[in-house]
Every structure is written in C-alpha cells, then in structure tokens.
Chain A
Amino acid sequence: MRHLIRALTLLLLLFAACEPEIIESHKNGGRIVLEFSHLVDGKALIADSLFYVNKAGNQYEINEVKYFISDVYLVNRNGKKAFIDDQTAIHYYDIDIPSTLDWNVFDTIEEGVYDSISFIFGLNEQRNISFAFVNPPEVNMFWPDILGGGYHYLMLNGKWKNPQNTTTPFDFHLGIGQRYSGTSTSVDSITGYVHNYFKVTLPLPAMQIENNSLRTISLAMNIDSWFKTPNTWDFNTWGGYIMQNQQAMQTAKENGFDVFTVISVR
C-alpha cells in the first residue's frame, strides 16, 4: 500500500507539472484604435446642460448620444483598401459607456501610408437585421419591425426650449424610414421603407502603419453640425420625434455629411 501511495503521489505531481503554453497570434502589420470624442461648437460636449443654441436659435441640451458605425476601411497611398471586419465590422459608441468610445480594432492593418478612412454611419441593408444583437447595450438600439426593423443608427436624445419656454424632450433618431400612403403616419398606411445610412469619408494626414505599430485615429462627432449644414434644423418645426417622419430623417441624413472630422492621428 505504501508503494501504491507513492506511485499515485508521483503521478499527481507529474500531472501538476504540465502547464499550458500560450502563443500569441501575430500577423504582419500594425493595429489601430478608433477613438471618438463628441463636440459642440468645437468644444467637448457637456451633457445635460441647457445652454447650447443651434443655428435656428433653439436652446438645447444633449442627454444621450448612441450610434453605430460599420464597414470601416482605410485607403493607402496605392489605393488599396484595408477592410476592418475580421472580428467585427460594427462598432457601437455611447457617451455613457466610456469603454465603447475607443474601438480597439482587432484587424491587423498592412504596412503602408494611409490617406483616408471611410465608414458607414449606421448599418447597411445586409447588416441592419432585427435580432442581430441580443445583448445590451446594442439591443437597446432596436428599431421596431413595423417601422422597418433592425436598429437605430443614431439616438441623439436631449431637450429644447420651445416657444412657450417649456423644456421639451427630443429624440433625434435615425434609422429605417417609412413611406406612407397619403398624409397619415399610421403604421397601417406604410407602403415602403427607406434606408437612411450614409457613407462618411475623411482624409487622414498620411498615417504611417508599421509592423507592430499601434496608431490611434481620433475622430470627433460635431453634434452641432447635425443642426446646421446644409439644412437648418429647427426643433419647433420638426418636433421631438422623427422616427416616423422620413422627410425629417432625410434632412438629418443630409446634415450628417460634415458631422465627423479627424482630430488627430498619433
């Protein structure tokens, strides 16, 4: 029995000595981080403060900013595109969840000099499918099936002071729009849907990607731009809720062309 106990102890020690070996996967190239900040009139957003004034003269505050960007790619000096989709092609930003504000991109970017970055603001037809997300926070961007389904591209929630000097909430939401028969916005009169995502292309200041390098592209969403160019957005005209107002969403979409800027690459 003594020999048996010794043998078993030896066996146990032998097993305990086997340690797993972790091998990092490496591809040639560098990595990037897409960092988003949120500005109003060129300064960092101060949420929940009713002191911003838009071009239409509406006094407003911002409470929540949530949105998707997707199908990001970089274009190098030779015109070659580096698509970001190895792990995921979609990223969700939310000013209330700091961990979302930096997208640590999984993909390895080939060495070279990159001159521009492009992305879809929102989700295209193929990606914007109901139940594609089942977990918070993304799932809370759900867009009702009856209104086109999928997810909000943007939830920009806040309040403005109306002509009666009453602080009124607004949900500046972008997603799939609807076409209605006649003037009704009853869901029974929906005849079709409109995808309101749009593509953004921004120049980069000759970003050099080297092997094992990590570059941070700092982007900004200029929130005030949603309300001024090319269309002056007046909350008193459009009201607080636009999910069932394709004309309003089209206006917002048109205003989105200059919302994003590249602040820096480091």
Chain B
Amino acid sequence: MYVTKNSILSLKGVLLLVKMKITPNFRALEMFFRRVLPVITCLINLSFGVYAQAVTDTINLSSVEIVGSISPVRFAIKKSAVDLAPLPDIGVLLRSSPGVSGIRKGGSAVDPVIRGFRFSQLAVVAGNGIKVEGGCPNRMDPVTSHFESDDIESVEIIKGPYSFTLGPSLGGLVRLKLYKPSPYDNFQVHAKFRTSVSSNPAGYNQYVRINGGSQRVYFGISGSYKSFGDYRDGNGTRVSAAFSKFNYGAALGFIPRENHEVILSLYRNYGRDIRYPALPMDEIVDNTTIVSADYHVKFMGGIIRKLDVSFYNSDVYHEMDNRFRPAYSQVVAPYKGLMQAVAKVDAANTGGRFEAHLVTGNHELRAGADLEAAGKSGGRVTTMIMNMNGIETTSVKNTNLWKNARLLNSGLFGEYSLQLKKLKFVASARLDYNVASSRDTLRLLKNEQVYFDETRSDYVNFSANAGISKQIGQNITLSIFAGRGMRSPDLTERFIKYLVVGYDNYDYLGNPKLLPEKNYQTDVILNVNTIKAGKLTLSGYYSMVQDFISGVILPASVTTPKTMGAPGVKQFMNTGNAWFTGFEATYLTPEYKGFNADIAASFTYGIHEKTIRNYFENGQVIGTQQIRDDAMQEIAPFEVRTVLNYTFYHRKMQASFSSRFVAAQRHVSLSYYESATPGFVLINLAYDYKFNKTVHMAAGIQNLLNKPYYEHLNRRIVGTTDKLPEPGRNFYLNLIIVI
C-alpha cells in the first residue's frame, strides 16, 4: 500500500500526538482520543479503504530475534489473543494460561502468579530485556501494567528456572514481546486501529498505530486511550474499580549496512485515578517513560551468527492517596478524625545486555552479560485532622518509604544446546553479583536484637539448569529438566518501610540482611502429537525453595503499624524451606467438520515448612504457634478450562463456547489467616469474524450466567473480610482494522 495525499493529510492529526509536550495535559489528551481520534480514524479508513484490498506487495523482513530459551516448559500468548481480549490488561490475559493466575486488587493491573511464584520470584521483562521498577509498594503497578497491551505482539511464559538470558529467574519468566517496526522493500505506510468497548466495566479502549518505512529506515508510532468505569459483580453490587490510561510510543528502525540493525524506541504511559478497593489507597498518578536502543548484527557463515547489544531506561513516577475513601473527607466511626495519606515514589531502572549467538554443527551457544541498576525513593505524608473542643487540629507526619534505595545486578550467562537426531540436550548457567543499599536512617533494635540497621548487602548468585528431550517414536517427546534459580531480595523486601504490601493487611518492613532465595526445581514434560488424536501435553513439576522470603510478625513492643487498618507489622525474613508441586495438562483435539476443542487443567500445591503465627483472645495477642507444613498463601485451586470452537463461513467466522471449572480452595495458609474460597463455573461466549484482511471483529459475552464469584487470589476489600469480586456479565466488542 502506498501513501496517498489524503492519507498524509489524515496522518497529521495522529502525528499531533507525537508533537505534544513530553508531560501531556491529560485532559487535553483525553479530549483528543474521545473526539478527534474517531474522526481521524474514519478519515484514514476512508482514504485507505480504496486500497485496502490491494495490499499484496508488502514484504515484512523479520527483525532479529535475539532471545530464545530452549526450555519446553513454555507457553505463548499470541497477538491474535491480545487483539481479541475483551479487557486490555496483560495480567488478565496471562490468567488464561494454564498454571498462571493473578492477584486482583482493582479493575486493572492484575499481578501474575505462576505456579505459586509471584512478585520478584518471577522475572517480567519486555522486548530485549527491558525491566521496569514499579513505583508502588502495594504493587498497584506490576511490571505488566506499564506496557500498553496493544503494543505487545506476544507474551512468552517460561515456567521454572529455565531461562537465564534475560536476567535472574527463580520461578519463571514472563516476556512481553513488544511491537518492532520492520523494513519494507519500498516506502510504505500502514496503520492499525483497534477499538474495543465493553459493558461491565463500561468503557472503551482506542488504539492507533502508524507504521511504515523503506529498506533502510522504518518506523512505528502509536497511541492509545482507555477509560473504564466501575464494574458490577454478579449480584449487581458496584465495585469501585474505575481507571483511565493513556499511552503513546514511537519506534524507529535503521539498517546502517546489510545485516546490521538499530532500533530505538520510546514509550510513555500515563495512568490516572486508578481505583484499588482492595488496597488502602488508590493510584492517582502514574507516569512511565521507557526508552530502549537495540543493535543487532547478523553474520553469514562462521561460528558467530549474531551479536546483540541493548540498552534501556525506565522511569516511573507514582502517586497514590486515599482521596476516594470516606476517611479522607469525613469522620468515619470508630475514627474521630480525618485520616489522609499521600505517597509519592520515583523509581527507575537502567540496564543493558550483550549477547552472542554461536553455532557450530549441532552445537549452539548463547552467551553474554547484562547489567541492571534500579533505584527507588519516596515518602508518605499522613495527616490527621481532629476536632478537639471545637478547635480543629492538624497533625502531619512525613515518613520515607524508600530513601535512595539502590540495587545493582550484573550477570554473566550462557545457554548451550545440542541437537541430535532424536535427542536434544540443553544446559544453561548464570552468575550474578547483586549489591543493594539505601540511605535509611531507621534503626530498630530491642534486647540487642537488630531488626533494621545497616542497609548494604551484596551477594554472588549462581543459577544453572540442564534438560534433555527425547523423541520416542514419531509422535511422543519426553523431556526432563532440572534447575536451580537464585534471586536476591528486591528493593521492597530489603527496604520498604511500613506499608501494606502483602496478602494480609499487615504493614511490612524490609530487611536489608535477607539472604537470596534458591529454587531447586525439576520438570517432566510429555508431548504427544498425532494428526488423528490431537495434541496432548502433560507437565509435572516439583520445586523446593530454600530461604523462602516471607513476612514474620514483629511484636508491637518493637514497632507499631503506620498504615490505618494494619493490625501489626511484619518483617520480611528468610523462613526456611517451601515446596511447590503440581501439574498442567493441555489437550487440543484435531478439527472435525469445523469443530475443535481445547482443554487445559492445572493444579498447584504449595507448603511452607515452618511458619509462626500469633493467636488471639479478645483481640489481644496471647501467644504464638509454630505451624509445620502450612499451606502456601495465594495458591490458585485446581482448574479445568475448555474451549469449543466452531469455524465456518470459509473459515472467516468462528464461534467459541468456553467454560472454566474452578475448584474450591481449602488448602489455605493458617499463618496468613487465609480463608477458604468456594469453587465456581463460568461460561463465556465469543464470536470472531475476519471480514477481510483489513477488518476483523470480535464480540462476546463473559460470565454469561452473571455468576457472582471471586478468584482465590483476589485480595480482600479494605475494611472488610470480603474478597474483591470479579465482574458479572460483560458484553464486549472489538474492532480491528489493519491497512
């Protein structure tokens, strides 16, 4: 498709987006997306529409793929799934993978959990190793929330410590593959528009991308706006979970000479007034800037096949407060005054990596080095306004959450594979040096026991894995993997001060002297793939985590909570061993007369060798109990998902009936006072129509029966013992136009 005069004129409107100031006026941008963008979209559609059917000459030269784990314990979410997803949230999308669940605290930013591993136990990276240090100590902004879902081409999930090329990985890796511009054999401009609307939560998402270029220089610019309101659960109860997000990005590719490629990219993401009913505060401002530069070189012949060098920087400014909560502006019994809290955090992550890909005969080696420097600083202002004898008094307290907390991780990695006729062997290793410090002045000690003092700590971590895959006959492959993943504690676990960051409502205190966690894991995977019977994959795993990091209650005589509603303070500590085991099973039937089915089951079981909890009488702590083999908290229950597809109308249409059977979770943590959750069955309908190469439409109904339910991992609504419910019935419609 070639650029026309009309299309260039139409593009000007979109390009305005890029010319806007670096810190945009959010309202103006909202107006732009609400009113101007639909008009521009229509104009562009009209101008390109004539040519839409004639696009046959586009040649996308695939850009260099620099990372490829050989682990078979992987799961990929394709671009089509991202496009057809009803709610633009990566975390929600990830939950569709077997063995992956998510922690919901509001209407967006579901935090992924893979086989019971969560937070920093998972490495979440984008592109070629981009890392983001979330600004929120409550994890309002997990890494996945800092990327626009429409800019993501696919998501790769590797379960277990089997991929070390993108950084240390203890329990798994989630890699968000971002859109990369591609060269064309002659100058062209293309566009993609995606509009989605939904009824519950009521809202919409607008995305536009213009991409094009020629053989040497190519580009992609994109922008999106999404605004969703509160949702209603299956009982019709309104849940305060509205959010608005805005994003724009640009990527520029350049081929200075044959087989050399440079890609520069910039993404800016903004969030406003994002409500989290399961957290004490809401996210008022999120400003994220991510820049990256990648340089790839391909070599023809010889041992060295590819060299890749990447750099990135991500900055996050996060601001949260309780202005949408009653206690902010009115006296709520049993309080006798207003309680206002505002927290502001700056976080940054800068890094780079180098990787060489060497091949000789059947031997393949990826080796390289990487560096990551992360920093966080921020504080909280708590204000108490009371009326005493008619006189209003205001008391203000400033506390730092992180004070110039710094972390540096540098590593060397290598991944070797050997491909024989029916045997494949892989092994990889990683050596990390990790150092962290902060300028905290907090000193906490009692009876000569030091709880928080010297902040500097450094560790050398060694991770390794090996695996073998054996093809048995024509259709069966059996793989066995074993690995050790090691990760140093993160900035929250080391330095956070008095915020509710865990599953329970306790204030958490960091521990600069935490030791790294080590995960020893083994996986067995059986693949059976036949044309007649379909594709079956069974994977089972067993994992032992040493020096498991968890919260341990501190006596009130040592320290008291600083967050309203927190019953006490827990400090991160190494608490001995934890075990995880479970399985995933997927079965994809062959297609028969347009029908096919996809069935997936997953189960995770986790226990904590030794934990301690307080027990109470009349609300007073009167003793402690040691618990052996306590259930690990936040483990998703057994689940079976089925999807029945029917493809028809020359394969242009597909109707899907999907269901989720989720068992009750009764294996719950006593030390975290976790409550059991009931099981549920959900039914969803989806319809997908590929009108032509240009227009693609998807519609559906989620939670068809309007079932009131909540996932086991959903957090409790603040001030109650009720879990945050999932949305009730939701009608959605997605329209995707690619020209």
B residues less than 8 Å from A18 (CB atoms): 607, 629
Q: How far is the CA of A135 from the CA of B560 in the complex (A)?
A: 10
Whether B337 sits at the interface, judged by CB under 8 Å, is yes
Whether A149 sits at the interface, judged by CB under 8 Å, is yes
B623 touches A106 (CB 8 A): yes
User: Would you call A145 an interface residue if the criterion is a C-beta within 8 Å of the partner chain's C-beta atoms?
Assistant: yes
Against A, the Cβ 8 Å flags (1 = close, 0 = not) of B700-739 are 0000000000000000000000000000000000000000
Nearest-Cβ distance from residue B221 to partner chain A, whole angstroms:
47
**Pair B393/A136 contact, Cβ less than 8 Å:** no
The answer to whether A88 and B618 have CB atoms under 8 Å apart is: no
Asked if B621 contacts A20 (CB within 8 A), the reply is no
- Cβ of A48 within 8 Å of any chain B Cβ, yes or no, is no
Interface string of B386-416 (1 = CB under 8 A from A): 1011000111110000000000000000000
Tell me which residues from 57 to 79 in chain A have a Cβ below 8 Å from any Cβ of chain B.
none
- Residues from chain B with a CB closer than 8 A to the CB of A132 are 560
Q: Is the Cβ of B560 less than 8 Å from the Cβ of A85?
A: no
Interface flags for A199-224 (1: CB within 8 Å of B; 0: not) read 00000000000000000000000000
B617 on interface, CB distance cutoff 8 Å:
yes
A22:B627 contact, CB within 8 angstroms: yes
Cα A244 to Cα B583 with chains together (Å)? 68
**The stretch of B8-16, B175-183, B563-571 that contacts the partner chain:** B563-571
> Does B621 lie within 8 Å of A87, measured CB to CB?
yes
| Chain-B contact segment, one of A97-105, A114-122, A230-238 | A97-105
Given contacts A88-B556, A133-B560, contact A139 B629 (CB under 8 A): no
The listed residue (B566, B628, B629) touching A134 by CB distance below 8 A is B566
Q: Contacts A15-B667, A130-B395 given: A104-B622 contact, CB under 8 Å?
A: yes
Instruction: Pick out which of these stretches binds chain B: A4-12, A39-47, A249-257, A258-266.
Output: A4-12
Interface 1/0s, chain A 141-157, versus B by CB < 8 A?
01011110100000000
Tell which of B393, B630, B631 touches A145, judged by Cβ atoms closer than 8 Å. Answer: B393
Verify if B625 is at the interface (C-beta below 8 Å from A).
yes
Q: Are A22 and B557 in contact (CB under 8 A)?
A: no
User: Bound complex: CA of A8 vs CA of B581, how far in Å?
Assistant: 13
The distance in angstroms between the C-alpha atoms of A249 and B307, with both chains bound, is 78
A139 to B605, alpha carbons, bound, how many Å? 41
Check B562 against A134 for contact (C-beta < 8 Å): yes
A192 is an interface residue with CB less than 8 A from chain B: no
Q: Are A23 and B623 in contact (CB under 8 A)?
A: no
Q: Which residues of A contact B628 (CB under 8 A)?
A: 20-23
Given contacts A24-B623, A87-B555, A104-B622, A142 and B670 within 8 Å (CB-CB): no
Give the secondary structure class of B's interface.
Answer: strand
Residue of B560, B607, B621, B626 contacting most chain A CB atoms (<10 Å):
B560
Interface size of B by Cβ–Cβ distance < 8 Å? 53
- Verify if B301 is at the interface (C-beta below 8 Å from A): no
- Please name all residues of chain A whose beta carbon is closer than 8 Å to the beta carbon of B564 when the two chains form the complex: 134-135, 139
Task: Assess the A86–B555 pair: CB atoms within 8 A.
Answer: yes
Task: Please indicate the chain B residues that have their CB under 8 angstroms from the CB of A31 in the complex.
Answer: 622
Judge whether A23 and B627 touch: CB under 8 Å. Answer: yes
0/1 per residue, B299-335, Cβ < 8 Å to A?
Answer: 0000000000000000000000000000000000011
Complex: A8 Cα to B388 Cα, angstroms: 65
Please report the C-alpha to C-alpha distance between residue A137 and residue B670 in the assembled complex, in whole angstroms: 27
Given A131-B382, A135-B567: A104 and B617 within 8 A (CB)?
yes
Minimum CB distance partner of A90 in chain B: B556
Given the known interface contacts A88-B555, A88-B556, A134-B562, the answer about A106 and B337 at a Cβ–Cβ threshold of 8 Å is no
Q: Judging by beta carbons under 8 Å apart, are B560 and A142 in contact? A: no
Q: CA of A106 to CA of B581 in the docked complex: distance in angstroms?
A: 37
- B-chain residues with CB within 8 Å of residue A135 when the two chains form the complex: 561, 564-567
B627 touches A20 (CB 8 A): yes
Given the known inter-chain contacts A90-B556, A144-B386, please indicate yes or no for A134 contacting B563, CB distance below 8 A: yes
- Bound-state Cα–Cα, A152 to B619, Å: 22
| Contact present for B397 and A131 (CB under 8 Å) | yes
Bound CA span A90–B559, Å = 12
Q: How far is the CB of A241 from chain B (nearest CB, A)?
A: 5
Cα A171 to Cα B629 with chains together (Å): 53
Interface pair B561/A134, CB less than 8 Å apart: yes
User: Is B638 located at the chain interface by the 8 A CB criterion?
Assistant: yes
- Asked whether A131 lies within 8 Å of B625 as measured between CB atoms, the reply is no
Known contacts A20-B670, A25-B626; can you find 16 more A-B pairs with CB under 8 A? Answer: A8-B583, A11-B583, A20-B628, A22-B626, A85-B557, A89-B556, A103-B620, A105-B622, A130-B395, A131-B384, A134-B563, A140-B336, A140-B337, A146-B393, A243-B388, A243-B389
List 14 A–B pairs whose Cβ atoms lie within 8 Å, in order of A's numbering: A4-B585, A16-B667, A20-B631, A22-B626, A86-B557, A89-B557, A103-B620, A104-B620, A106-B622, A106-B623, A136-B336, A145-B394, A147-B393, A171-B389
Interface residues of B (CB under 8 A from A): 334-337, 339, 382, 384, 386, 388-389, 393-397, 538, 555-557, 560-567, 581, 583, 585, 603, 605, 607, 612, 614, 617-631, 638, 667, 670
Interface residues of A (CB under 8 A from B): 4, 8, 11-12, 15-16, 18-25, 31, 85-90, 99, 102-106, 130-137, 139-140, 142, 144-147, 149, 171, 241, 243
Top 3 closest pairs, chain A to chain B, by CB: A144-B393, A88-B556, A136-B334
